[in-house]
Structures are given as C-alpha cells and as structure tokens.
Amino acid sequence: MFDEVVSSTGLQILLTFAAHYEAYLTGSSSYFSAVREAARKETRHFEHTFSDGTDKFFILAFFAVEFQRLRDAVIGSSDAAAFVDSLAECSPWESKGGKSKSVFYKTRDDRFILKTLNNKEADHFASFVPGYIDYVLEGMAAGRPSCLAKILGIFNVGFQTASSVKACKATLLVIENVFYGRSLREKFDLKGSIRNRLVDTTPSATAVADSNLVLWDENLLLRSCERPLYVSSGSKRTLLEAITADTHFLCQIGMMDYSLLVGLDNHRLLVVGIVDYLRVFSWDKKLEQILKSSAGILSGRGQQQPTIVSPNLYRDRFREAMYKNFILLPDFSYKDPATAVAVAEEEKVKR
C-alpha cells in the first residue's frame, strides 16, 4: 500500500520528510542540536511527528547520533545539507537483473539509493548497527581498504491522510550509490556461484543496451572467455584484502547472500562494492537449506551444492570466486626465477 501511494504521489512523503529534516538543519533548534540532546539523554533514535493541518506525517531516524558520525566521515560534515537536498529529490528505480523483492528509489542526483526493508530485515540490521559503524570508522581511520557500500541511515517514515483509517509506513535504508558519477558500459552482480545466475540478454528478453541492466556470474564467465576482467597485481591484492576483511566481518554477524557489484566504465576502469549484506542466516534459511539438499538426494540428482549456505561456506565460496573473476594483467617485465637461473647457467657454458 505504501509503495503504491508513494509512487502515485511522486514520493511526497519523502519530499516532506526531507524538507522537515532540513528545517532541523537550518533552524534555531537544528537537527544537530536535537542529535546532541538525544546523545545527552542516551536516546539512540530520533522521532518527529508533524502535520500540515489535515494529514499527519511520521519520521523515526534510527541511531541518529551514530549515523551522523558515519556520514560526517564518509561524505563530510560540510555536506550535511547536501544529504538532505539529495533525499528531497528521488523517484522509483528498477535495477534490472536483480531478484530482490524490495522497492528501490534513487535520488535525482544519482548519489544515494533508498531501499525498503521488511520488519525482519530492519530488526536484524538494528541489532548490529553500532558494530557495523565501528567497523567502517575504524577501517577508515586505519586506512584499511573496504568494498562495503556504505549504509548511511535507516528511517521509518509514514503518513496518514484525513480520509484514511490506517497510516501508511515503510522502513527505508539509505545507501551510497557505488556507481555515483560514473558512466558505465557494463554492470555485474556477483555472488560466487553460477547456479541459476544467468541473465537472458537476447533481444526478445531485454534491451541489452539498457543502462540499468545488471548481469550475473554466468554472464561474466561467458564474457571472460573472450574479454576477461584484467586487473594489475597491486589492484588485485588491494581488492582481495578488502574482500577478505569485509567478508570476515559479515560472517561474524551471520550474513550471507551478499553480492559484489562490479561496473566497467567508459575508461575501462573497474568500480566495485559489496551490496545486499542484510540477509541473515536465520532458522528458516537453515531449514530451507536442509530441505533443498534432501530434495536433491531423494529425486536422484545426488548431493548438489545448495543455493543457500551458511555464512562460513558463503564467505569461502565468495572469496574463491572473486579471486578467479579478476585476471592478472600480463606483466611482460616479469621473469620467472627458474627460467632466470637456467639462462644464467647457459651463459656460463657459452663462456
């Protein structure tokens, strides 16, 4: 219901939310003052309700103090107003090639993506927000590379019109756009498995040239036969270091089913980011894993690799696949040690 209303009204709830948020930034009782007051009272969530005379609007900013610290570090404290301005101009967005049932919005300046969360996702994310923010900030302070697409806020917004009996509400996650400011030729969503991971790119299925088209693991495998994704040794080392640290953290908090979003821009530069890392390995996922594995055996197909695996197995499979996905750029200045010794011995014999 919320999605239908928001889409049909041009995201007026988000526009109103952003406008009132800006009032806190620029007014005498600024948002920052509210955040400081919340910190003093040890209140982690900032709530505000307002009305335009007939309709009521609701805002709940989860972990307001913590996310303000994160935004100051990621986008800069001087860009706080720009964050509000971005949220005030957004529209529904469809990322073609994805399976998520969430509804997405993108800010008009292309800087941030908003994603709706169900109650289970929101509750679980709230349980590890402080640890997540500490991980990101400590990594930035230490100069440690990271591929995580930064989550910059989580808000519960809603409204109730004078004629409606029930309020429309939704929980929205604000994420940095990994591809902000980039003009991309190709995009891939990689999970480290080729099972059911092929996007049909035939003209009858989709417009291949569509800028929103996101390809999957098997598409990359087919492409790599003729056009591999080459990277330098230094770039690959940094990438794998980031993936190792990030996946270790995600495994610790019980996450799986995340993806490495990869973009190839018009200058043939690769842009990457780990996204969709809010899928927890809950009891229902464990049960689904058992049932699917058992179904394969009972049907005579043997023990097949399940599509749902534990965080440990997912982390290991993900790391191994990403190592293989990026091919080292040939280094013609490299000399194999064994060959160098053989050449030296041959020179001695000639002399």
Whether 99 and 201 share a structural domain: no
Q: How far apart are CA 148 and CA 277, in angstroms?
A: 9
Instruction: Specify whether 135 is located in the same domain as 54.
Output: yes
Backbone region of residue 172 per phi and psi (left: phi > 0; alpha: psi in -120 to 50; beta: other values):
beta
- Domain CATH number, residue 61: 3.30.800.10
What pairs with residue 154 in β-bridges?
Answer: 173
Helix, strand and coil content of the chain, in percent to the nearest 5, comes to 45, 20, 35
Which of 118, 147, 176 represents a domain boundary (last residue)? 176
Q: Given 122, 141, 176, which residue is the final one in a domain? A: 176
DSSP conformational letter for 170: E
136 in any annotated domain: yes
CB atoms within 10 A of CB 196: 10
Predicted confidence at residue 24, as pLDDT, reads 53
* Residue pLDDT, tens place only, 331-343: 766 565 666 666 6
Q: Looking at residue 283, which CATH number applies to its domain?
A: 3.30.810.10
Residue 57 lies in a domain: yes
Full domain range(s) for residue 21: 2-176
Sign of the CA dihedral running 103, 107, 110, 112? negative
Number of structural domains the chain divides into: 2
Residue 340 within any structural domain of the chain: no
Does a structural domain hold residue 336?
Answer: no
Which residue numbers in the chain have pLDDT < 70? Answer: 1-43, 95-100, 204-211, 281-307, 332-344, 347-351
Q: Tell whether 302 is covered by a domain.
A: yes
The pTM (predicted TM-score) of the whole model is 0.82
| Residues 154 and 235 occupy one common structural domain | no
Within this chain, do residues 167 and 314 fall inside the same structural domain, yes or no? no
What pLDDT does residue 190 have?
Answer: 97
